[in-house]
Amino acid sequence: MTALPTLSRDELERYARHIVLRDLGGPGQQKLKAARVLVIGAGGLGAPLLQYLAAAGVGTIGIVDDDTVSLSNLQRQILHGTPDVGRKKTDSATDAIARLNPHVTVEAHATRLIADNAAALIGAYDVVADGSDNFDTRYLVSDTCFYERKPLVTAALGAMDATLTTLRPHETGPDGRPNPTYRCLFPERPPAGMVPACAEAGVLGALAGMVGSMMALEVIRALAGFGEPLVGKLLMMDARAMRFETIAYDRDPENPLNGEAAKA
């Protein structure tokens, strides 16, 4: 077993409120320092997610994003500022994280996640958090995480609603059966045009901040090993009524990853 890294005097003070937490403590903080987390997207969800992962002391954070900062991003993507307009989001995010916590190492991947690079990128990290804004990327990320045996925290943001779940389909649940996949939730992509893009439908900025922070919480729980993760559970949020609902979902025997046909 690899020894956990020690915390410097500065880190002990920085993370003092974590270290006194019974569920986290010093060993949990050391696990965060040793961890490698890949964040897909430095946008509406990725911006608050990255901030809280960095503030929490996750040792190495990878960022995948091929976009540049635009003025219309700043209503919700609070990791970036007005002077960053026109810069690569990975560059802006790297600088912001350095200002927030110099103990964090950032690995910037200024590229789009595609089939040719997904395995290499995802395979190099312990946990993946997907804040992408399209189904093609979500399916690619979730399928690759399954094959690379990596836990995945994934969320989707609507105009005034959002969903969040954690996927560990490469593992079995308490009942001994494989955990569900992303394809158990969404067997097929929605028809083109059914889900309007953010630029068309709009998005409530504070909702992005809330959901991104909740993604960070799921990642931190996965790394430190406390609490009950959202495995087999979909958290649904309605910002209009400030209503939260959690629904359970099971493995679909017909899914192509760990379904019955895949095992045959």
pLDDT at 173: 87
Across the chain, which has 264 residues, the per-10-residue mean pLDDT values are 88 97 96 98 96 98 97 95 97 98 98 96 98 92 97 95 96 90 88 63 90 97 94 96 96 90 66
Tokens, residue 9: 């005097």
pLDDT at 23: 94
pLDDT at 195: 62
46-56 helix and 205-224 helix, angle to the nearest 10 degrees:
40
pLDDT at 3: 85
pLDDT at 167: 97
Residue 38 CA to residue 124 CA, distance in Å, equals 8
Longest dimension (CA), the chain: 55
Contacts of residue 5, defined as CB under 8 A and 6 or more positions apart, other chains included, come to 30, 33, 34, 59
**18-263 CATH choice from 3.40.980.10, 3.40.190.10, 3.10.129.10, 3.40.50.720:** 3.40.50.720
pLDDT at 260: 85
Q: CA torsion, points 18, 21, 26, 31, in degrees to nearest 10?
A: -70
pLDDT at 261: 74
